[in-house]
Amino acid sequence: MIALAASAPAAQSDNLMGTTLAVMQGTCSLLLVGGDDLTRQCSPSVINSAYRTGRSSFMFGYGGDKVVSFFGQDSVAVGDQATLQVDEIGVATGKEDGTAKRVPHAVHGTCTYTNPYKGASRITCRASGAGGNYAVDFVSDGQPPNVTRL
């Protein structure tokens, strides 16, 4: 995948200390980026970044060297579900060799997701803005996420 720093918001990429990264494997059954249906190119993994500011993101790879990220303010879970109020989409292209470039888009939308420690987790995101419509449907394989704390 593209370098993590390229897909993080500029203010957050300067200081990722305190960030928690969770990686899950699964199935991506829908991926729209700017209105284009890229489902067939969607990677079978997702990265969730939880920043110490209370913001969070879900990053989905596609096309081998591209990532679309849904960024926003995370909520406290109610029961088995939480919501991310999405206010920015980041589309990154390039590789970890320094060629990665991220383009942010202001949007309005949500991601809802279920607890990944209670079996298969479902992530559903919908957002729209001047850059078009963005959507993803992802279901994990039911294994707990691989977590790294920076």
Per-residue pLDDT at 36: 96
Assign domain 4-10+23-144 to its CATH architecture. Answer: Beta Barrel (2.40)
Give CA–CA dist 124/78, Å, rounded.
Answer: 16
* pLDDT computed for residue 101 by the predictor: 84
Taking all residues of the chain, what is their mean pLDDT, rounded to a whole number?
88
Q: Report the candidate in 109, 110, 113, 69 with the shortest Cα–Cα distance to residue 92.
A: 69
Position 15 confidence tier, pLDDT thresholds 50, 70, 90? low
SS (H, E, C) the chain: CCCHHHHCCHHHHCCCCCCEEEEEEEEEEEEEECCEECHHHEEEEEEEEECCCCEEEEEEEECCCEEEEEEEEECCCECCEEEEEEEEEEEEECCCCCCCEEEEEEEEEEEEEECCCCCCCEEEEEEEECCEEEEEEEEECCCCCEEEEC
**What pLDDT, in 10s, does the model give residues 24-60?**
999 999 999 999 999 999 999 999 999 988 899 999 9
pLDDT at 99 over 80: no
pLDDT computed for residue 94 by the predictor: 77
Q: Tens of pLDDT along 117-142? A: 999 999 999 999 988 999 999 999 99
